[in-house]
Structure 1
Amino acid sequence: MARPRTTSDEAILEAAARAIGRHGAQGFTLAAAACEAGLAAATLVQRFGSKRGLLLAVAAHSARTVAVPFERARDEHPAPLAALHAALETLASGVATPHELARSLGFLQLDLTDPGFREHAAEHARRMRQEIAALLADAVAAGELAAGTDVAALSRAVQVTYNGTLIVWALSGDGTLAAALRDDLAATLRPYVTDGGKA
């Protein structure tokens, strides 16, 4: 009889994501992921086949779960714009220093050059845009954003702001990423925010 799995695939993928954050995609190894997960590297080979297989599984998991911070933010913040700020800050919370962002950007190289990774990255971006658009639509309905706001265009602008802030903050080194993200997102939204949406 096969032995039951004592560590779920999800727990392994989350451990692997932490290992990637520490070592970058280039320095990442099955041994590093196994150490983070408290397992033997052979166990990861059995489940995922190879380093590439595990990295692809991490990318797929990231795309599947990108909505989770938005769902939690909705539960914790009744106001849609507050939920949007909270969700994006949570997404960025794994980056505390420019070096950590550099390691994450190593994964972006895979996303841009390998069709298998690109598919998951595109799905991640699409789902993230959907979640942003849903909160912006709720903000319009709640009177936080002006009636007639082009939610599709603004959701793209918010997503561009999020990604752009990561890069500019890493280059400037000014303050915290959370503060930079709050300021830049507020600037992007400001032309559309009504008196009812102002804190």
Structure 2
Amino acid sequence: MARPRATTDTALLDAAAAVLARTGSAGFTLELAGQQAGVSAATLVKRFGSKRGLLIASSQRWIDSIDPDPGSLPGETPLATLRRLSVRSYTDHSRPDDAANHVSSLAADLGDPELTRLLALGWHRKRSQLERLISRAIDAGELPNAPTPATAARTLFSLLEGSFLGWTVDPDGALLSILDTEFDNLIASWT
């Protein structure tokens, strides 16, 4: 009979995410991720096969976390839901060091065809989520001058990602405040 796992895959992936946020891809090692999780690097190899396998599992988990059809919180308008699920999705990257490490991980992902494919899937899923939310806000009369939901979602996604990348280069001000302002400026042209 197999011995039960003392540490879940979720806990191992949480540990890997914490190390990636702290070190970026360049400094990420299985040893550091294992230390964070309280296990050996060999445990990570046994579960995920390699560092690359762990990064692929982490990317897949990120994709799975994006709800393609999210609901609103009680009392929340469709536009408020759109703000929460667009701007607030950057909360984990609102410290300059974490943001820079996120961007270094992005660069590493672009060097690996499978990680690039997963990144594209995640971004597609996020844009689809934004498209649904924008469609609901249009149907509720909150965005009467918006372009088609697909166009609006691409525009909003590009604005948020571009603003985030710009802030990582010049982190002047609080990221979420900057994104709130950019969101408001765009939405003003659609109302």
Q: Structure 2 length as normaliser, TM-score? A: 0.92
**Hey, what's the Cα distance between the residues in 2 that align with 1:148 and 1:51?**
44
- The answer on 1:15 being equivalent to 2:15 is yes
Q: 126, 136, 139: which is aligned to 2:137?
A: 139
Number of paired residues?
191
**Hey, what's the Cα distance between the residues in 2 that align with 1:22 and 1:41?**
18
Specify the alignment match of 2:65 in structure 1. 65
Q: 170, 173, 189: which is aligned to 1:172?
A: 170
Bigger mean CA offset, 111-120 vs 153-162: 111-120
Task: Specify the code of the residue in structure 1 equivalent to 2:111.
Answer: T
User: Percent same amino acid among aligned pairs?
Assistant: 34
**Hey, what's the Cα distance between the residues in 1 that align with 2:74 and 2:103?**
30
Specify the alignment match of 2:156 in structure 1. 158
Structure 1 residue runs without a partner (length 5+): 194-199
Task: Specify the code of the residue in structure 1 equivalent to 2:185.
Answer: A
Asked whether the 8 Å contact 1:84–1:132 carries over to 2, the reply is yes
**Hey, what's the Cα distance between the residues in 2 that align with 1:93 and 1:47?**
29
Asked whether the 8 Å contact 1:133–1:155 carries over to 2, the reply is yes
Change (3 A) 1:192 1:140: same
Asked whether the 8 Å contact 1:76–1:83 carries over to 2, the reply is no
1:24 Cα deviation after fit? 0.4
Specify the alignment match of 1:197 in structure 2. none
Change (3 A) 1:26 1:114: same
1:168 Cα deviation after fit? 1.9
1:155 Cα deviation after fit? 0.3
The 5 A counterparts of 1:19-30 are: 19-30=19-30
Asked whether the 8 Å contact 1:140–1:149 carries over to 2, the reply is no
Change (3 A) 1:74 1:29: same
Change (3 A) 1:86 1:116: same
Q: Tell me the alpha carbon deviations over residues 96-133 of structure 1, each in whole angstroms, 9 at most, x when there is no partner.
A: 33222111111111222211101100000000001100
Task: Specify the code of the residue in structure 1 equivalent to 2:66.
Answer: V
Q: 82, 85, 88: which is aligned to 2:86?
A: 88
* SS of residue in 2 equivalent to 1:75: coil
1:77 Cα deviation after fit? 5.7
